[in-house]
Structure 1
Amino acid sequence: MSVTPRTHVRTTALVLPAVLAAALGACSSFDQGTRGIADALTLYRPEVVQGNFVSKEQVAALQPGMTRLQVRDILGTPLVTSVFHQNRWDYIFTMKRQGVEPQRYRLTAYFEGDTLARFDGDDMPSEAEFVQRISRERKVKVPPLQATEDQLAKFPVTPGAEPASSDKGAAPSGAQPALSYPPLEPAR
């Protein structure tokens, strides 16, 4: 028995919509079925810190009467300067972390001419608080680096020894630099 082209077209016209409906239905049920898995396995979302971070210590250093240059030295370049508000600098920064509400901080400095007249804004975090907020590692309490006289007596200083220099590799005071250096490759 041979199939005529009309029968083939009619069969295709009946079967094709059914196949498309089944495929689309499968996609939506697949999406609904995997949504629970996606909620359980949260994808990595990077922490985003945008703007100029201004710490509580920096705000404490501001004093009315400072010049614009002094304010810029303390706070950095302002995030927002407006042509329409030339006597106002805005410092804004936001922190977005996974599982935490976005945090937004603002500080505005007002100038009269070239001097700082006043400033206002949000209560800023200290530098230590900011580091703890963005750190994913466990919080480590660093002990103060202080030693008692008894503890220092356990490590006697040898006579003629100079104190350790903070610049590693620096020549001891009074030493002359080498006039010649050994060859980089051995002689052949």
Structure 2
Amino acid sequence: MGKPLFSLTLLASLTLASCSTILNNLPGVYTVDVQQGNMIDQSMIDQIRPNMNKRQVLYIMGSPMTTDAFHQNRWDYIYSNQPGGEPRMQKKITLFFDDDRVVGFQGDFKPSALPVIKESPETTVDLPPREIDKTLWEKITGLFGIDNIDSSTESSPVNSEPRTNNLDTPMN
């Protein structure tokens, strides 16, 4: 009884283990791109300058991936990308601060010596002023023949008879 059960268990485990290998290598099978951490690129590193404060670095790089409780003046940024089942690519940069100012960094990127001139992708378009003859409400009421509601109600009363209180007349 023990030998067939062991053989069946071994066969089932080998089959399950080989499924992932077979499915990962099948053509036409979609695999998800896995991105983790802070997106880091060379343009971000080029904007970091010595003596920048932590707030300026947060604006450029975002919050650090890891902060060490024992080293408050060290920020680690890690970016990992695994596109579609290919080998994983990882980039890392560590920033060092002294008295809330950047004093150095190390990692997979090197800063450029040239100043960074970042062009804005936004464009500004000047529009000519609009000439509005009537408001939207005036246009809508004009469609129904009601040109001016306020002046028409004041000039032509609906009921010209005075209101009287008929409390003295008996009810039937």
**Structure 2-normalised TM-score?**
0.55
> 2:130 is matched by which residue type in structure 1?
A
Structural mapping, 1:4-23, within 5 Å: none
Post-superposition CA distance 1:71-122 (Å, at most 9, x none): 1111111111121110010000101123421111101110001111111110
Q: Root-mean-square deviation (CA), in Å?
A: 3.6
Alpha-carbon separation, structure 2, partners of 1:31 and 1:45:
21
1:50 to 36, 43, 49: 36
2:55 to 69, 75, 78: 69
Q: Secondary structure at the match of 1:64?
A: coil
Higher Rg: 2
**Structure 1-normalised TM-score?**
0.51
> 1:173 is matched by which residue type in structure 2?
P
Give the corresponding residue for 1:174: 129
- 8 Å Cα contact 2:33/2:85 also seen in 1: no
2:76 to 77, 85, 90: 90
Paired-residue identity, %: 27
Deviates more, 1:56-65 or 1:115-124: 115-124
The answer for unaligned runs of 5 or more in structure 1 is 1-16, 125-164
Q: Secondary structure at the match of 2:88?
A: strand
> 2:65 is matched by which residue type in structure 1?
L
Structural mapping, 1:1-188, within 5 Å: 24=8, 31=15, 38=23, 41=26, 43-123=29-109, 172-176=127-131, 179-180=135-136
What is the deviation of 1:40?
5.4
- 8 Å Cα contact 2:31/2:85 also seen in 1: no
- CA gap of 1:44–1:180, structure 2 versus 1, over 3 A, is same
- CA gap of 1:109–1:173, structure 2 versus 1, over 3 A, is same
Which of structure 1's runs of 4+ aligned residues deviate more than 3 A?
34-40
The answer for unaligned runs of 5 or more in structure 2 is 111-122, 145-172
- CA gap of 1:119–1:37, structure 2 versus 1, over 3 A, is closer
